């Protein structure tokens, strides 16, 4: 009888590992069902460039550390398909970011990419950490509306250019893994 129980237990464990492994492989990176690569242009308001600025500081940094800890900026930035600031925007990125690290430049983004073109209508909602020292950073696509109804995915940030605090351009490689 004990032998039977032993064999049964071993078989059961084998079955369990199979199930776990099968689950793991099915959760492995799939190919995106949609991919959109856009450039975001952030021109910071400096007091005199009101005509061209698309982003403004709402709360200044604190004196904690030397990396603007606490600075909060709200933006309504154009997004273009190439890296030219003056190319016609195909979407807008609206939201905010704040600096949240004492020892290096690091920020946290929360924003919507809003499409209102003949190609797409709707929003993609994105949030996550932007560890600026890294060459690429992944943020989460947490949802969407319209043509992006209930979507989820990953956005990979690559800094294209950073001109002090006045202007930066980031390539956003939007990969959606749930499309309806
Ligand atoms: C603000 O930016 C504009 C455009 O880059 C520049 O011409 C102007 O001198 C800047 N103003 C200040 C106060 O830095
Ligand atoms: C806004 O940008 C355009 C194009 O780069 C430039 O010609 C113009 O002088 C800028 N205006 C201001 C107020 O900075
Ligand atoms: C924000 O802080 C910077 C540096 O600490 C300072 O130069 C700037 O004048 C401050 N801006 C405002 C609007 O208080
Ligand atoms: C979207 O574009 C259409 C046509 O240009 C315009 O009438 C409408 O107001 C826009 N909607 C938004 C939310 O910007």
pLDDT digits (tens, 9 = 90+) for 47-100: 999 999 999 999 999 999 999 999 999 999 999 999 999 999 999 999 999 999
pLDDT digits (tens, 9 = 90+) for 4-47: 657 655 555 555 555 555 555 555 668 999 999 999 999 999 99
Nearest CA to ligand 3 atom 9: 60
d(CA 137, CA 174): 12
- For the CA of 57, the closest atom of ligand 3 is 13
Architecture of domain 31-178: Beta Barrel (2.40)
The alpha carbon of 169 and the centre of ligand 3 are apart by a number of angstroms equal to: 23
Q: Which of 154, 165, 159 lies closest to 127, judged by CA?
A: 154
Model-level pTM greater than 0.85?
A: no
Give Cα 152 to chain centroid, integer Å: 11
48 lines ligand 2 (CB under 6 A): no
Ligand 2 pocket test, pick from 43, 44, 47, 52 with the greatest ligand atom count within 8 Å of Cβ, gives 52
Which atom of ligand 3 is the closest one to the Cα of 63?
A: 5
Residue among 60, 63, 68, 99 to mutate when testing ligand 3 (max atoms within 8 A of CB): 60
């Amino acid at each position: 009888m004990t032998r039977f129980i032993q064999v049964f237990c071993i078989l059961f464990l084998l079955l369990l590992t199979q199930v776990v492994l099968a689950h793991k492989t099915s959760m492995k990176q799939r190919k995106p069902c949609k991919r959109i690569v856009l450039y975001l242009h952030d021109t910071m308001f400096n007091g005199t460039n009101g005509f061209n600025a698309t982003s403004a500081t709402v709360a200044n940094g604190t004196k904690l550390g030397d990396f603007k800890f606490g600075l909060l900026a709200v933006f309504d930035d154009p997004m273009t398909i190439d890296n030219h600031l003056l190319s016609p925007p195909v979407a807008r990125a609206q939201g905010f970011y704040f600096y949240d690290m004492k020892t290096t430049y690091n920020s946290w983004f929360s924003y919507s990419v809003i499409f209102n073109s003949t190609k797409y209508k709707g929003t993609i909602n994105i949030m996550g950490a932007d560890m600026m020292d890294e060459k690429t950073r992944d943020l989460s696509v947490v949802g969407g509306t319209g043509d992006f109804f209930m979507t989820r995915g990953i956005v990979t940030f690559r800094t294209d250019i950073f001109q002090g605090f006045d202007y930066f351009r980031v390539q956003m490689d939007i990969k959606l893994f749930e499309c309806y």
